[in-house]
Structure 1
């Protein structure tokens, strides 16, 4: 602490001698100054840690001095001290990014508290966060030993995401490693839970959480019918941690009314999960009822080309006659164009926007070295997606939707996981290409590392052949072929994949917001 230097600027600095002695006894170094012009010069010549600045001084006022110092040293914390409680002075000072605001007469403990708040802030938060997580760690460990329902799994996962975000900025890397191992343990147990319960969920929907195929009917449609205009945004491939960060920006314009955590169907891949949201059907039912719209893995062409048709068919089946518009955004130009013409949607009862950027980013991490650098781990991946979101046409649209008074529902089709552990698989040449699930005939695999479904119809998935099966990887595993194994593993390890079974891929948010 002896290294902390303070500049104290006050035209009656001599009257503050007891305060300065108090600080010096605590080990702080204090430079005294009695006018704004000298204070500006001193700040240029020295590297102070913090400045205490009187507002009411002859010559340059405190606010003028503040502006000058900030123009030269923007990151230097400045604490404003004033006799006046006039609102405009506070507003001006706060607008100029002061670190704190004290009203005379100040006592030494107020000064000390302000110093701790501004200079020890990160350390104090870091220590408090660490000790809080240490207590919570034991509670989560006990929860993991007992968890036995999908509701409990949602609670555990949301706690883990909360602590992941809380620990993100602390300097104790040991704590982050402990959290990582706890997430790993949770995913291992979650895999066993899904293996045991998933087939029952599909065959007995009354025992199931809200799944992709029931999301529209159970959650979205009732909200659309309640209000005049609703905007539904489906961001492809969005995880809970990314959603929680986006929400901070959305909260400036919208107030969250409800958050539903729902489960993606298996495979947790766009062609299955998102088609299921729009059709309100499981993949096997889509193949049977809409053979012209459904595409299986080996089929040529895009697998999500008929979402609008699936949505209209579902609305028709439910007997709903809503003015509906479906828009898919896959590039910046289309996003900007929609944002520029956004007012045209205000006549709709329901507007659905599918936004594809996050999915493209996760694929780019596999293929582009620069994205591998920028999204090297979950923290960096979150930061990159948040930077995209706050600068995107999508965020502009959300702001415009608020000014049009539209309700907002934000959701996704599945999440994603950073895949680190290879598991070998062998199959014929028509085996599907996804790294987190495989379908085809004559599959050979490591039984302990997958959830194998010999008869796809048991979980309402189409069979490609008489003896086709589906296999899904667990935790952060990914499938690799034995030939050219090392090259393949090196290329795909530490890339974001989806299609398998993990908390990150399966438990996903659907949030309902009302405009502020």
Structure 2
């Protein structure tokens, strides 16, 4: 039975409240002054405290401060007759669990207790009940999805339930949802295999990587609005959803939407297309000095700044002052924030931020990261923890304070891979685990989206005969030699480049500082 300490100099007038609450399964210790309350608080454990703000002797705020010093984990509810804003602010600043204004009725107190002591349990129950009610509908709906928009809306609904169940202790239901999501990815893979190529000959398709700047960034610049354009490498839609509450502390969201990464959903292709405003085949043809093939040495994305400037020039925005920055580690991030004032006069500041991509790769190579980000739920949590105190958040606040409109997006997502599928080819096959391109490849077709003519989807063709294969759902490619070693090393790691809901359906938002 939860044990509650109630402190009020008029406690004798609250006997009816106490009887009602005891009947609901709560036990109470009572005190009519702060000194006795602190003595009682030190003697025995309490699950919660109800504390009157206005008492003779020690005030409620003074008692609250001492209680928080003694046992900061115990939730305290402040009760007061005063509606003075300053008192409310002081109480809230002292991290009270709730704030009630007299006269309080017993049901108010009961609701406060339930919120404090049973909140997580009630959230779990409601999430469980809610998902059980929609499970059948979700299963039926996914069988009839025919368009990109329908798939995007369905995926957002799946993620909403994933985030709801993150708060739940019902591991069985989480497993059911994971299975449902896996089934959805199987069907989404078929949808992309049947429709992706036709997107390039039709206007009836989603916005793709090479169209983001033209459709989202450029219109802001044309309004003579200073723009802070942030590309967080490898940011999935669910990761955006968990950092969104922190973003909205400093920004109003004026637009929130999704687009599709091109294939391969890998940095070399998707992010170069994003900054160039062109598909990879066109970059190679029109600006070959800015394109590197898979087998070439060096960074495949070292010319993003130049591509971005060229794209703006092609839109008649070449007169704008543009600054481009790339953050690849914490040292570079801190240096960028320290010198961020140097960007104040720029019309457009483009920032590529690589933390999330680095996290996904570290999860493959570093055992401790593998344990910290053991599944999608943990991956989301670690992303939220990172963002909360990150230099990126400081940079965004600076942008808001200096009159920049913020456009925040990503280049592609990432998926947790679990099933290996064999591929055999020449030595010059790309090392990416989610797509391969080359000649004479042998592979299991049922696990791949196969493109025989790369030019039909805007990809460069390197040889007379060359094809691309993209892994579907949670498959990854492994060579027959040392197959078991590859499977053990890469299973349950995050990879990108292929076809999945997580890799292709990605967010973009436009933000105004508050």
**Cα displacement (A) at 1:5:** 0.8
In the alignment, what sits opposite 1:77?
A: 75
In the alignment, what sits opposite 1:347?
A: 345
Aligned ranges for residues 29-428 of structure 1 at < 5 Å?
29-202=27-200, 204-321=201-318, 322-428=320-426
- CA distance in 2: counterparts of 1:440 and 1:470, whole angstroms: 7
Identify the range of structure 1 (381-390 vs 394-403) with the bigger mean alpha-carbon deviation. Answer: 381-390
**Cα displacement (A) at 1:352:** 0.6
**Cα displacement (A) at 1:228:** 2.5
Task: Tell whether the 8 Å contact from 1:200 to 1:207 is kept in structure 2 after alignment.
Answer: no
- CA distance in 2: counterparts of 1:6 and 1:62, whole angstroms: 16
Identify the range of structure 1 (324-333 vs 233-242) with the bigger mean alpha-carbon deviation. Answer: 324-333
Task: Tell whether the 8 Å contact from 1:437 to 1:471 is kept in structure 2 after alignment.
Answer: yes
Structure 1: give runs of 5+ residues left out of the alignment: none
* 1:460 and 2:458 are equivalent in the alignment: yes
**Cα displacement (A) at 1:192:** 0.5
Deviation per residue, 1:328-371 (Å, 9 max, x gap): 11122222222122122122221111111111111111111111
* 1:7 and 2:1 are equivalent in the alignment: no
CA gap 1:89/1:218 in 2 versus in 1, 3 angstroms: closer
CA gap 1:485/1:85 in 2 versus in 1, 3 angstroms: same
Deviation per residue, 1:139-163 (Å, 9 max, x gap): 3223212211111111111111121
Identify the range of structure 1 (16-25 vs 380-389) with the bigger mean alpha-carbon deviation. Answer: 16-25
- CA distance in 1: counterparts of 2:23 and 2:243, whole angstroms: 46
In the alignment, what sits opposite 2:505?
A: 507
- CA distance in 1: counterparts of 2:212 and 2:22, whole angstroms: 63
- CA distance in 2: counterparts of 1:33 and 1:92, whole angstroms: 23
Structure 2: give runs of 5+ residues left out of the alignment: none
- CA distance in 2: counterparts of 1:490 and 1:230, whole angstroms: 45
Identify the range of structure 1 (124-133 vs 369-378) with the bigger mean alpha-carbon deviation. Answer: 124-133
Task: Tell whether the 8 Å contact from 2:418 to 2:474 is kept in structure 1 after alignment.
Answer: yes
Aligned length: 513
Task: Tell whether the 8 Å contact from 1:229 to 1:347 is kept in structure 2 after alignment.
Answer: no
CA RMSD of aligned residues (A): 1.4
**Cα displacement (A) at 1:113:** 1.8
In the TM superposition, structure 1's runs of 4+ consecutive aligned residues that sit over 6 Å from their partners are: none
CA gap 1:289/1:171 in 2 versus in 1, 3 angstroms: same
TM-score (norm 1): 0.97
Task: Tell whether the 8 Å contact from 2:123 to 2:167 is kept in structure 1 after alignment.
Answer: no
- CA distance in 1: counterparts of 2:478 and 2:39, whole angstroms: 64
Identify the range of structure 1 (464-473 vs 393-402) with the bigger mean alpha-carbon deviation. Answer: 464-473
- CA distance in 2: counterparts of 1:462 and 1:33, whole angstroms: 78
